[in-house]
Structures are given as C-alpha cells and as structure tokens.
Amino acid sequence: MEKEDNTTSTIVVSSKRLRNCDKVVDFIKSLKVSANIKDNRSVICNSYDCWLEYGCDITLTGLKSEYIKKDVWKPLSKQFGFDCAYLKVNGKYKGCVHDFENRSYHE
C-alpha cells in the first residue's frame, strides 16, 4: 500500500529536555519520512509559574494521515519522551495527537 499522497500535516512538540531540533531531524530522517522541521520556543504556564520550552514544528510532506500516529508519532514520542503534541492535518483535523482517530479522518 502506498503511504504517500498530497497531505500536509504538522506535529508540534516541545519539552524541557529539548534544546534544538537536530536530534529530531536525524530521527525523522531515520524513519524515512519527508519533513520540514523548524525550531520553536514556547512559553508554558500553569497556576504557579511560567517556563520556556524548546520545541520543533514538524511539517510532514506527503504522508497519508492514517500513518501519522503509527509511523511518526509513536516512535517519536517513545524516542524523546513526549507526552503529547499538537497535530494539524490540513482540511481534516486540529488538536491533540491522542484524539486523532485514524478511521474518522480518511476515505
């Protein structure tokens, strides 16, 4: 089955342990997934404090949406210890990667 189409999707991750996206770039490359990866910085706040987290905007170029969780998110979260990520699948979904149900968003 072909894993690629014209879908553009973005996964945004951040962590106190991440300082830049160099290792994320190498890991995505090892997964053999086409992507554009940019460094970002996020200010995260709770009721008591705010802090800076470094992160990565990972734009997946051409991977069918049904493969995002299995082929990218699960290995990425395991490798780097990410608990959650923001996922945007153009025209189909925006929100937490955990709430993205494969069967609901494809033909």
Q: Which backbone phi and psi does 102 adopt, to 5 degrees?
A: -50, -50
What length does the chain have?
107
Closest among 65, 50, 51, 52 to 11, alpha carbons compared = 65
The whole-number pLDDT of residue 38 equals 97
Architecture of domain 4-98: 2-Layer Sandwich (3.30)
Sequence spans of domains, the chain = 4-98
pLDDT (tens digit per residue) in 42-53:
898 999 999 999
pLDDT (tens digit per residue) in 52-106:
999 999 999 989 998 999 999 999 999 999 999 999 998 889 999 999 875 455 4
Predicted TM-score (pTM) of this structure: 0.86
